[in-house]
Structure formats: C-alpha cells, structure tokens
Structure 1
Amino acid sequence: MIYHPLGRTGVQVSCLCLGTMLFGKDTGEEAAAAVYHRCREAGVNFFDTADVYNQGRSEEILGRLIKEEREEIILVSKVCFPTGPDVNASGLSRRHIRSAVEASLRRLHTDHLDLYFLHNYDPKTPIEEPLRALDDLVHQGKILYPAVSNWAAWQTMKGLGIAAREGLSRFECLQPMYNLVKRQAEVELLPLAESEGLGVMTYNPLGGGLLSGKYGVSSKPQHGRLIDNPMYEKRYGNPVNFEIAESFCAHAQERGVHPASLALAWVMSHPAVTAPVMGARNLD
C-alpha cells in the first residue's frame, strides 16, 4: 500500500479510503466485516462514514469493526444533513454540530474523530458559526482536523480566510465529487487544494458505477444504482454520459485493463488527490 501525507497535517493515509455509505443498508454486518478486513489486509488505514448514512447504522458497524485497532485507523465522519425529524436536527449551527459529534462518537465507540467534515454548505448559518464550533471541538480533543465536503471554492476560501484572521483551526481537507465524467473540481477546487496545502478525498471515482464496465448505450441494464436511485439517475443518467461510458470501457478493454481500475487510476493520478473514497457492497 502507498501512503500519502494528508495535506500539511503530517498524518499519513492510504492512497485509497474505504467509504462505508452502504454499511447497514445494502451491506449487512457480516459482509461489512469481510470488506473491512480485506481492506486492512491490503494496508488501508483510511475509513469514511457520516452520521446520515443509514440512520447512523454505518457508524455503528464501522465502530465495532475498528474498536480493537482504533489507534491505527484514520477515521472520518461528517455533519450537516438531517438526522431526524426535529427542526434543529440538521445544518451547521453550533447546537447541531455539538449534539451530532457526541452522537457520532458514541456510535463509533471512540473518543475522537481524525477528520470531521462539514458535509454540505449551510446558507442559513454564517461560516463563523461552524468554524468556532469546530475549533472548540479541536481544543476539547473530540476532533483533530476540520474539513469540508461539497463546498464551492469561494466558500472554502472564505472559511480559510476567517480561520486565519481569527486564529481558528482551519480546514485541512476537501471532499469533492471527481471522476472522468464529473470534472468540475479541476476548475477551482483542486487548484485551491494545491495552493493551500489541503488534503483531497474525492468521492464517486467510478461515477456511481457508470465507469465500472456495466453501463453503456448498448449495455444499459434494467436495474442498478443509476437506474433505480433518483439522485444518481439525475447525476449521471444523461444519455451523453452513457456514450462516454461505452467509449471509455472500449478504450480500457482494448488495453487489457478493467474499466473500474482505469477510472480509479485516472483519479489517483491527479497530483492534488490524496485518496479517492471507494465503496464496496461486498467482496465480489
């Protein structure tokens, strides 16, 4: 396994991160354990979850798996999206961040998170509010490094500027969508990360399965994430994307490379990328 520095933190993380969004839904506890142990055997030390994944079940399962080797694991969770029906059970208010991190720590059976992501931008809350809440958590030892996911470059840079001005703990990592089909991160986010010394964990490296070899104009299955899941269908369901996928898969096969391997290698080849986040339903 190859390890990369996480931005300027000095922490070394595996060049692949296991995403556990499917733990507790499509992936039961036994299958999750098999995936986790296969990753550990390969040298993966980087694991990503979020409080919103399957009503917290992803965190619960991952917490049980890492319990005996917690100090060897770089653990990531996130806050922002709704975790319950209460009007305040979402967003980036100090109140919600405080309650959310305590709940995540309980589910994960740990006393701290290595990276804690603001999972989305909250237009109702001034950036100063989550920045101060995260800084408090750093000083309390409950999180080590703040980070942001799904933020625009200007939002991220504004947060970095406020943190520098006020002497607060700054963001140390970004998590943007990035793959051969969705390359918007190349315009501003990846250059920003290189300029400011931020780690980058990209998600959807296979385009939600579009670049896995299963999809194309002439090989579009009747069922699957891109067909049945409204979010992924909206994100990748454009006919042009299926044409791209078919051409890409043909290109990979001509060179004797599995399309998924080539798509992943392409993401990893960008100098700004620390580690793509890869999910796995099972060992197959």
Structure 2
Amino acid sequence: MDYKILGRTGVLVSNLCLGTMTFGSETEEGEAMRIFHKCRAAGVNFFDCSNNYSEGRAETILGKAIADCRDDVIITTKVSQRTGKDVNAVGSSRRHIMRSIEQSLTRLKTDRIDLYFIHYFDPFTAMDETLRALDDLVHQGKVLYLGVSNWAAWQIAKALGISAREALARFECIEPMYSLVKRQAEVEILPLAASEQLGVIAYNPLGAGLLSGKYSDRVKLQTGRLVEKEAYGKRYSEPSYYTIAERFVDYAQQLGVNPVTLAISWVQSHPAITAPIIGARNVS
C-alpha cells in the first residue's frame, strides 16, 4: 500500500479509502467487519463514513471495527444530511452540528473524529456560522481536521477566505464525485485543491459500477446500484456514459486488466487526488 500526505496536514493516509455507505444496509455487520479487516490487512488506514449512512448504523459498525486499532486508522464522518423527523434535524446550523457530533462520537465509540465533513451546502445557514461551529469543535478536540463534500468551487473558496480572515480552522480536504464518466471536478474543484493544498478523496470512482463492466447497452441487469437506486439511475442516465463505459471495458480487456482496477487507477493518477473512495457489498 502506498501512502500520501493529506493536504498540508502532515497526516499519512493510504491511497485507497474504504467507504462504508453499504455498512448496515446492503452489507450486514458480520460481512462489513470482514471487509474492514480485509482492507486493514492490505494496509488501508483510511475509512470514510457519514452520520446518515444506514440511519447511523454505518457509524456504529465502524466504531466496533476500529475498537482495537483506533490509533492506527484515520476515520471521517459527516454532517448536514437529514438524520430525523424533527424540522431541525438537517443542515449546517450550529445547533445541528453540535448535536450531530455527539451522536457520531457515541456511535463510533471514540473521543475524536479525524476528519469531519460538511456533507452538502446549506443555503439557509450563514457560512460563517457553520465555520465558527466547526472551529469550536476543533478547539474542543472533538474534531482534528475539517472537510467539505458536494460544494461548488466558489463556495469552498469563499469558506477558505472567511477562515483565513477570521483565523478559523479551515477545510483541509474535499470530497467530490470523480470518475472517467464524471469529470466536472477537473474544471475548478481539482485546480482549487492543488492551489490551496487541499486533500481530495473522490467518491464514485467506478461511476456507481458503470465502469466495472456490469452495465452496458449490451447487458441489462436486474440488480445493482444503477438499477435499484433511483438517484444513481438519474445521475448516470446519459446514454453517452454507457458508450464510454463499453469502450473503456473493451480497452481494459485488451490490456488484460480488470476494468475496476483500471478505473480506480485512472482516478488515482490525477496529481490532485489523495485517494479514491472504494466500496463493496461483500469481501469478494
């Protein structure tokens, strides 16, 4: 396993990050633990989670998995997605952040989150309100570093400016969507990351499985994320994506390389990328 420094933090993370979105939903606890230990045996020390994955069960499972190796792993979790029926159980307000961090720490059975992400942009909360709340968490020792996912480049740049002006802890890592079929991050997000020394962990490096060879106009599956999850079906509904995927898979086969390996390696090869986020339903 190769390791990279996360942005300007000095922290070394494996150049593959295991995403835990399937833990507690598509993957039951026992299999999730086996996936975790398989990754640890391969040298992975970087694990991505969120407080809304499987309604919090992913955090609980990850907490059990890291119990005997907490100081050897780097874990992330997130806030801002809806976590309950209460009208305020969503967003990036100080109230929601402060309640959510305590819930995440309890489920993960840890005293600190290595990397705490704002999951989505909240248009109803002042950005400086969110950044001050996050800065408080850093000063309290509950969070070591901050990150942001699914923000536009201008929003990230604005936040970095506010943090610099107000001497607040700044975002040190971003988590954009990035794959051979979803390359929008190359326009502004990745240049921003390179300019500002931000770590980058990229989700959906396989295009939700599209680049794995399972899906094509020639192969119509009845199961899989693109079939079973409406959001993913819409995200990758453009016909050209399937054409690209078919050509890509054909090329991988010509090289004698598994298309999954090639797709992830392609994301890894971008100089601004710290680690692609990989995920699995089972060990195989």
> TM-score, normalized by length of structure 2?
0.99
**Cross-structure match for 1:253:** 253
- Whole-angstrom distance in 2 between the partners of 1:45 and 1:73: 5
Between the aligned partners of 1:270 and 1:243, the Cα distance in structure 2 is 23
- Judge conservation of contact 1:16–1:46 (CA < 8 Å) in 2: yes
Residue 135 of structure 1: SS of its match in structure 2?
A: helix
- Output the aligned Cα RMSD: 0.6
Gaps of 5+ in 2: none
> What's the secondary structure of 1:207's corresponding residue?
coil
What is the aligned-residue identity percentage? 61
Matching residue's letter, 2:145: Y
Q: Match of 2:281?
A: 281
How far has the Cα of 1:126 moved from its partner? 1.0
Equivalent residue letter for 1:175: E
Which runs of 4 or more aligned residues in structure 1 lie more than 4 Å from their structure 2 counterparts after TM superposition? none
Counterpart in 1 of 2:46? 46
Quote the Cα distance in structure 1 between the aligned partners of 2:220 and 2:246.
10
The residue that corresponds to 1:166 in the other structure is: 166
What's 1:226 paired with? Answer: 226
| Aligned mates of 2:259, 2:219 — CA distance in 1 | 14
**CA-CA distance at 1:205 after TM superposition:** 0.3
Aligned AA for 2:98?
R
2:266 aligned with 1:266, yes or no? Answer: yes
Unmatched 5+ residue regions in structure 1?
none
Taking the aligned partners of 1:10 and 1:185, their CA distance within structure 2 comes to 24
Structure 1 contact 50–78 (Cα < 8 Å) conserved: yes
Q: CA deviation at 1:46?
A: 0.2
CA distances 1:8-56 after superposition (whole Å, capped 9, x unpaired):
0000000000000000001011100110000000000000100000110
Aligned length: 284
Decide whether the 8 Å contact of 1:90 with 1:96 is kept in 2.
Answer: yes
Q: Deviations over 1:131-181 (max 9, x none)?
A: 000000000000001110000000000000000000000000000000000
Amino acid in structure 2 at the alignment position of 1:161: G
Matches within 5 A, 1:3-82: 3-82=3-82
The letter for the 1-side match of 2:17 is: C
Secondary structure of the equivalent of 1:181? coil
Give the counterpart letter for 2:6 in structure 1: L
Could you tell me how far 1:240 is from its partner in structure 2?
Answer: 1.7
TM-score (norm. length: structure 1): 0.99
Is the CA contact (8 Å cut-off) linking 1:227 and 1:237 kept in structure 2? Answer: no
- SS of 1:13's partner is strand
Q: Is the 8 A contact 1:52 1:81 kept in 2?
A: yes
Matches within 5 A, 1:136-147: 136-147=136-147
Q: CA deviation at 1:220?
A: 2.5
CA distance in 1 between counterparts of 2:86 and 2:37 reads 37
Q: What is the alpha-carbon distance in structure 1 between the residues aligned to residue 69 and residue 193 of structure 2? A: 30
Give the Cα separation in 2 of the matches to 1:146 and 1:69: 22
